[in-house]
Structure 1
Amino acid sequence: MSLHPDIAVLLDMVQIGTESGARIPFPQLTATQARPDFDASSPLLDVDPPPLAHERRLSLPTRDGAAIAARLYAEREPDSRSPMPVLLYMHGGGFVVGSLDSHQPLCRGVATDSGAAVLSIDYRLAPEHKFPTAFEDAVDALAWIAREGAAAGLDRQRVAVGGDSAGGTLAAALAIEARANGDLPQPLLQVLAYPGLSSRQVSDSYSRYGSGFLLERDTVDWFFRQYLRDDSDRDDWRFAPLAVCDLSGLPPALIVLAEYDPLLDEGRDYASRLEAAGVAVDLQVYPGMIHEFLRMGNVVADALQARAAIGRALAAAFRTTDSERPPANMERHRD
């Protein structure tokens, strides 16, 4: 399918802004300068649903004694007598930008559409906190659900992990970590929205869409220079889940991809690897879309449709026992 016309208009505006100097690309900024620019894009690009009945800011401990902020979204007050299933959500932003605020509309929407609680975490960012700090913060947040979830009204037996872009990378790695760590809740679903999964960006889609489609090759390189300690970190599965040899025993996956995204091929490759390992996969490729489209509810209806699909998948996963899980359902192109 051709690029969606409204996405094409958005990309033209981005190009005009860059050429006029009104928009400065991230590689020309420091991380501190880039972060408010990224957060400021949310109210322009996205539709923010009304606040939910329960929105609470939390502070979660980490292994090194620090604390990270988190925000819990739910349609009702979570109660230990009637605990709610929960999605642990990691925002995108290349491990350098992004925040609780930048992804608030997305998290509100998913909480509404799924009927589950969404716990969004403000994991620590690079370059102040290099790899693997973001991954370790995600693990520690999942461990917090195991320890404290019941007291917070969350069902420790009905947990999913999810994220978009770099957050999708973290969610995929977190599912792998949980498989080997019996102290962590075992996710019933992993929601991976256009995740980065490969140690090297050499795919055909990266060549085709690495320039002119919002996520630029130079920006990805800038993100990784901030995040990685050295080049050897690229081969660590906590950064590149495709480096894992055995993907069997992982939770079912909903993988949401965009047709005009440099990361399209590695998402497809991961879906194929999961399916070959016996993992149920629902791969949804949205025609005409670009990276970050989930945060573009003001631009395209596909963003809200994709969020609703995530909500339905979560609701189904939280209703379904292991013996009732559906078989793998591979790629579906959205109309």
Structure 2
Amino acid sequence: MAEYRHLATPHPQWENFPHNLPPNTRILGLNRDRLPISPQSGLELKEFDVPARDRYPIRVRSYKQSTLETRDALPLLIYFHGGGFVTGGLETDDGPCRDIASNIPILVLNVEYRLAPEHPFPVGFMDCLDVVLWAASHKSQSTLPSNISLDSGFIIGGTSAGANFTFGIAHLVAQTHKSELLHHLTGILFLAGTICHEDARPAKYADRILSIDEVTSGPGLSKASIKYFADKYGAPPSDVRRSPLLFESHAGLAQRAVVYACGWDPRRDETLLVEEILRGEGVQTRKYIYPGLPHGFWGSCPDVEESKAWKRDLLEGVEFLLSGEVA
């Protein structure tokens, strides 16, 4: 998207990362850790397993306010972490999941899907799909709180690779598995994600996905790391589970969607294209753009002012997804 090229001018504080950041800035890296749950006042945190189609136990961490009345209808957000399909885990976005649940009456499920290269494409994608299908079926009723109400909100979302899963799963849920669900999706939360392998871009979108070629280096994600992750993941470029932009239709995915685009990010244009496509399908959308900031900046440096502002935007976005009537 040529009109967004100016957003790639690095923010002075993030240029020459990390040397211009404030002194003693906490910098977090991605890993596969699964640590014991750290208690938090006012939050009820649990872990349990959801069976994948091959019976593998997918670990899920749940978050909700401990003071909620059981008679209050509780919407659901299923969240998929980032990490290029090869790293990340329950700890990667534990902070944002806690923030959402602490501030909004909602149940958040954080999914620990299997990772490549040990589990190459499409294993991680199918794990996340299986959790969504499980949560929206009678199978989940003995595990999830009794007051879960998909009528009050049924959202899926994620960051980076998790956002890629989100867009693909939204299509499959709407087009293939709709009859299996107790309720269709109401919201999509899409953060700095990819929707099409660069080798499979349709000609009609040639001028809408430019950042993957033009933003080749920077903190968080570079051309080299994208190739590294792709080689480990092993997804055929034209498979719609890797490139959901290739689905024939993008209609009927949800009622509302929120996207978060980083300006200095190879994935910037794909993220903004999600909002453009869904808005064209009649979905109510909202977008947040962060000029000069790199891919997933909020995860690498959660304490800086830019990340604190993003957290406020995240909560505002989830509240937007839950506002209004649910059909």
Q: TM-score normalised by the shorter chain: which range applies? A: 0.7 to 0.9
> Are residues 274 and 298 of structure 1, via their aligned partners in 2, closer, same or farther at CA, if it must alter by over 3 Å?
closer
Residues 126, 226 of structure 1: 8 Å contact kept: yes
Q: Which runs of 5+ in 1 are unaligned?
A: 15-35, 42-47, 324-335
SS in 2 for 1:284: strand
Equivalent of 1:196 in 186, 194, 197: 194
Residues 47, 61 of structure 2: 8 Å contact kept: yes
Which residue does 1:256 correspond to in 2? 260
Which residue does 2:185 correspond to in 1? 187
Q: Which runs of 5+ in 2 are unaligned?
A: 1-6, 22-27, 202-208
Q: Superposition pairs for residues 99-138 of structure 1, below 5 Å?
A: 99-138=89-128
Mapped partners of 1:106, 1:322: distance in 2: 25
Matched, 1:63 2:53: yes
Mapped partners of 1:84, 1:76: distance in 2: 12
Mapped partners of 2:193, 2:108: distance in 1: 19
SS in 1 for 2:298: helix
The normalised TM-score by structure 1 is: 0.79
The amino acid that maps onto 2:105 is G
Q: Superposition pairs for residues 95-244 of structure 1, below 5 Å?
A: 95-146=85-136, 147-151=138-142, 152-153=144-145, 154-157=148-151, 158-180=153-175, 181-182=177-178, 183-184=180-181, 185-200=183-198, 203-229=209-235, 233-244=236-247
> Are residues 58 and 309 of structure 1, via their aligned partners in 2, closer, same or farther at CA, if it must alter by over 3 Å?
same
SS in 2 for 1:258: strand
CA deviations 1:126-185 (Å, max 9, x no partner) are 111111111111111112212344442122332100000000001111111111222134
Mapped partners of 1:112, 1:219: distance in 2: 34
Count residues with an aligned counterpart.
Answer: 293
Which residue does 2:76 correspond to in 1? 86
Which residue does 2:205 correspond to in 1? none
The amino acid that maps onto 1:4 is H
Residues 199, 243 of structure 1: 8 Å contact kept: no
Identity fraction in percent: 25
> Are residues 165 and 49 of structure 1, via their aligned partners in 2, closer, same or farther at CA, if it must alter by over 3 Å?
farther
> Are residues 37 and 280 of structure 1, via their aligned partners in 2, closer, same or farther at CA, if it must alter by over 3 Å?
closer
Larger helix share, 1 or 2: 1
Relative to structure 2, which stretch is displaced further, 161-170 or 68-77?
Answer: 68-77
Matched, 1:38 2:33: no
Deviation at 1:97, TM superposition (A): 0.2
> Are residues 112 and 91 of structure 1, via their aligned partners in 2, closer, same or farther at CA, if it must alter by over 3 Å?
same
Equivalent of 1:281 in 282, 285, 304: 285
> Are residues 319 and 274 of structure 1, via their aligned partners in 2, closer, same or farther at CA, if it must alter by over 3 Å?
closer
Mapped partners of 1:264, 1:313: distance in 2: 18
**CA root-mean-square deviation:** 2.7
